[in-house]
Structure formats: C-alpha cells, structure tokens
DNA sequence: GACAATGTTACAGT
DNA sequence: CACTGTAACATTGT
C-alpha cells in the first residue's frame, strides 16, 4: 500500500530497531520464472548472489528514495526494498513452523494475529536473535542489492524524480515539470515517479481535492495561482503522514505490525457517493478512471479549466 | 459471487 | 517516438 508517508514511517521504524545489527541469514520463498533475467531476489540465481553480498554485513541506517526503502550496510552497499501495493516490513521474533514452511511471530498481538502480517516471503535473521521480515500478500514487492557507490547509477533508482518534501521542490521547479507535459492530465503527472516521486493514488486525489483542481485538468491550463496551491497541498498532505492508531480502511502496518491512522484525514479517496466535505460545498463525490487508476473528486468545486 | 484495491511494468495498439 | 489502455502479479475486504 505504501506511499511516501507510509514508507517514511517504515524507515523511521527501521532506524529505531535494526541499526547496528548484523545479518546472520536470509530466507525467501519468492520465486518466479518471470524474473529469470532480472536483478531481483525472485530470480533464484540472483538470490544466491544477494545472500553472499549481505550475510555478515551490519545495517548502518535506513533511508528512502521515492517509495523505495534503502538499508545501508556497513560497507556502503545497499539493500533496496520496494513494497509495492501490499508489502510491509516487520520486526520481531519469528520462527519457521517446518523446515520449508511459513514463518510465524512468537509474539501474540498484531504481529501474529493480523492476517496482513502473515504473508512472510523474506526473512533476515539478525545478530540479536530477532528477525526483519517482509510480509507481502500479493507478492508484488521488489528486493535487490546495490553495490557500494552504486546508488547514483542504479537502474532501480535512476528514474526516481525529486522528492516533494524536499526544500528544493518549489513553485519554479513544479511549474517547470508541468510545462514539460502541457497536454498531460495533472493527476497522471502527480503519479509519474519519474516526474515527482512518492505520491500515489490516495495522496494525489487528496491533494487535488484540497486544491479545487479536476484530476483531468491539463497541465498547460493550470494557472500559476493554482499550481502554487497544489504544491502547498501536496507538501501538507504528505507531511501529515501517518500516526499510530487504528484505521480499519488501511492495509498498511508499521514495523511492529500495527495499523496506521492518517493524521491528515482522507476527505475524498474512496468516498464516492458521499457529500463533499469541503465546507459549504454541496457536491457529491464522483469517481472516474484517470491513467488507469480510480480517481475520486468533487465535480462541484473541482472544475475543469480550459 | 462480483468487484475493487495504496504500485509498477510489459506489451499491444494508436 | 510518444502516448494510451490493459493485463499481470495474489488475496483480501465489502
């Protein structure tokens, strides 16, 4: 599920838990013939290489580029994890039920009881006897290794554009990005990781809703004033991030397996048919498909401009 | 049972 | 070459 705030929350959790620990062993049951030629651990021969590269190394810190989690190792090499739709990293004591079977948490509570935490396809056993595991219900996740000094040139990262929370992401730059794709719908630009990184379907809809911009508005038709409003709302919505809590509508779990509550309330995402939550607006939230993704918006205060 | 789901990519078609 | 739409990955919740 994760978009930028969820990935950032996971990175924060990693820095609070696994820094300084050595990787003792790695286990996976990811395996797919479709990945035979790829630099991903789903390719069994690549997984052999991956294990040789990371076993015995210590986790120095975690950080993030776009929606990618990066585990920096003590020799300046990197483990890259993209959680895609349903992946999330969990930290705790895990045991394998049988020699080839599933891994389960020793602890009662969310780690073991929550169904979204049960799809464990990758396990790092650490030097303190605990495990860092990747639960990935739909098995979309990507895990790979970047040699030291390779981050700048890695093909897994070369397409990732500027981070919208960066202080360098200002109106001039955002405007430049929009002007480079004048005929493209604004929502597709927001979702394109090679133009702006970290925004996904939820935060795109929420940012456009708060800015009063129709998801299908063409970049060239958005005024400077509207661009400025949108930029500010993107930053605000992303920085709102997540907090520990209990949001039954989210599949995201933090590193301890707990659900996350959006601090910045969802006003429009998946609210089709409900009355618009903008004060005094009387619109009914509508959903359409834009760039292959369901888009919820208010047809009254998010007007098309031309 | 039908449907949609937070991401990304490959591929076919225009 | 640029863009668009669809399927694919697998399993859940509604």
- In angstroms, the CA A155 to CA A304 distance is 37
Say if residues A271 and A209 touch (Cβ distance below 8 Å). Answer: no
Give backbone dihedrals phi and psi of A78, rounded to 5 degrees, phi first: -140, 140
Residue A90's pLDDT band (cuts 50, 70, 90): very high
Q: Tell me what the mean pLDDT of segment A26-45 comes to.
A: 86
Alpha helices in A180-264 (DSSP H): 186-191, 201-211, 224-240
CA of A202 to C1' of C6 (A): 22
Q: Across-strand partners of A42?
A: none
Q: Percentage of chain A surpassing pLDDT 70?
A: 93
HSE at residue A39, side-chain half, CA atoms within 13 A, is: 10
What is the SS3 assignment for A135?
Answer: strand
- Helix and strand numbers (H, E) in chain A are 7, 14
User: Sign of the CA dihedral A213, A218, A219, A222?
Assistant: negative
Nucleotide with C1' nearest the A84 CA: B7
The predicted structure's pLDDT at residue A243: 55
The predicted structure's pLDDT at residue A31: 83
Q: Tell me what the mean pLDDT of segment A151-162 comes to.
A: 82
Nearest to A122, CA basis, from A98, A146, A96, A147:
A96
Residue A306 has pLDDT above 90, yes or no: no
- Predicted TM-score (pTM) of this structure: 0.93
The predicted structure's pLDDT at residue A77: 95
The predicted structure's pLDDT at residue A303: 87
CA of A34 to C1' of B12 (A): 19
Q: Average model confidence (pLDDT) for chain A?
A: 89
A139 CB and strand B closer than 7 A: no
Residue A244 has pLDDT above 60, yes or no: no
Indicate the domain borders of chain A. Answer: 4-159, 171-297
Question: Do the two domains A4-159 and A171-297 of this chain adopt the same fold?
Answer: no
Pairing of strands A242-244, A87-92: unpaired
CA of A292 to C1' of C5 (A): 7
Distances (CA, A) of A99 to A16, A29, A102, A125, A267: 31, 12, 9, 15, 47
The predicted structure's pLDDT at residue A249: 60
CA of A139 to C1' of B2 (A): 23
**CATH fold of A4-159:** N-terminal domain of MutM-like DNA repair proteins (3.20.190)
- In angstroms, the CA A131 to CA A124 distance is 6
Strand B contacts in A 15-34 (CB under 7 A): none
Residues packed against strand C, CB within 7 Å: A 32, 34, 115-116, 119, 137-140, 181, 183-185, 188, 248-249, 289, 291-292
CATH number of A171-297: 1.10.8.50
Nucleotide with C1' nearest the A197 CA: B7
Residue A1 has pLDDT above 70, yes or no: no
Nucleotide with C1' nearest the A287 CA: B4
Burial string for A171-209 (b: 16+ CB within 10 Å, else e) reads eeebbebbeebeebbbbbbbbbeebbbbbbbbbbbbbbb
- In angstroms, the CA A153 to CA A140 distance is 24
CA of A162 to C1' of C2 (A): 23
Residue A177's pLDDT band (cuts 50, 70, 90): very high
Nucleotide with C1' nearest the A160 CA: B8
Q: Write the CB contacts of A299 (distance below 8 Å, at least 6 apart in sequence).
A: A283, A284, A286
Residue A282's pLDDT band (cuts 50, 70, 90): very high
| The total number of residues written for chain A in this structure | 306
CA of A21 to C1' of C7 (A): 41
Q: Write the CB contacts of A44 (distance below 8 Å, at least 6 apart in sequence).
A: A31
Residue A270's pLDDT band (cuts 50, 70, 90): confident
CB atoms within 10 A of CB A134: 22
The predicted structure's pLDDT at residue A2: 82
Nearest to A160, CA basis, from A192, A133, A184:
A192
Nearest to A91, CA basis, from A68, A117, A69:
A117
Nucleotide with C1' nearest the A184 CA: C3
Q: Across-strand partners of A22?
A: A58
Q: Tell me what the mean pLDDT of segment A221-242 comes to.
A: 90
The residue that minimises its CA distance to C1' of C8 is A140
The predicted structure's pLDDT at residue A263: 55
Strand B contacts in A 206-245 (CB under 7 A): none
Residue A248's pLDDT band (cuts 50, 70, 90): low
């Amino acid at each position: 599920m994760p978009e930028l705030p969820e990935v950032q929350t996971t990175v924060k959790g990693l820095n609070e838990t696994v820094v300084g620990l050595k990787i003792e062993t790695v286990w996976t049951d990811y395996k797919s013939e479709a990945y035979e030629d790829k630099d991903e651990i789903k390719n069994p021969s690549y997984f052999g290489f991956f294990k040789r590269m990371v076993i015995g190394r210590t986790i120095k810190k975690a950080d993030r580029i776009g929606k990618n989690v990066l585990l920096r190792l003590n020799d300046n090499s990197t483990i890259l994890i993209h959680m895609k739709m349903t992946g999330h990293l969990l930290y705790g004591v895990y045991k394998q039920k049988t020699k080839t079977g599933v891994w389960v948490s020793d602890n009662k509570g969310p780690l073991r009881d929550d169904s979204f935490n049960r799809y464990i396809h990758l396990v790092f056993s650490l030097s303190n006897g605990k495990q860092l595991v990747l639960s990935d219900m739909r098995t979309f996740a990507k895990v790979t290794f970047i040699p030291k000094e390779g981050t700048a040139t890695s093909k897994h990262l070369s397409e990732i554009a500027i981070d919208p929370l960066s202080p360098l992401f200002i109106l001039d730059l955002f405007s430049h990005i929009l002007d480079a794709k004048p005929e493209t719908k604004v929502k597709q630009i927001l979702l394109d990781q090679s133009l702006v990184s970290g925004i996904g379907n939820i935060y795109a809809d929420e940012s456009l809703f708060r800015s009063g911009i129709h998801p299908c508005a063409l970049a060239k038709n958005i005024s400077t004033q509207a661009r400025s409003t949108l930029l500010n709302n993107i930053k605000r919505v992303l920085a709102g991030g997540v907090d520990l809590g209990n949001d039954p509508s989210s599949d995201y779990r933090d590193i301890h397996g707990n659900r996350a509550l959006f601090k910045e309330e969802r006003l429009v995402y998946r609210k089709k048919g409900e009355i618009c939550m903008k004060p005094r607006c009387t619109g009914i939230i509508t959903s359409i498909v834009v760039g292959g993704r369901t888009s919820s918006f208010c047809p009254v205060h998010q007007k098309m401009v031309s």
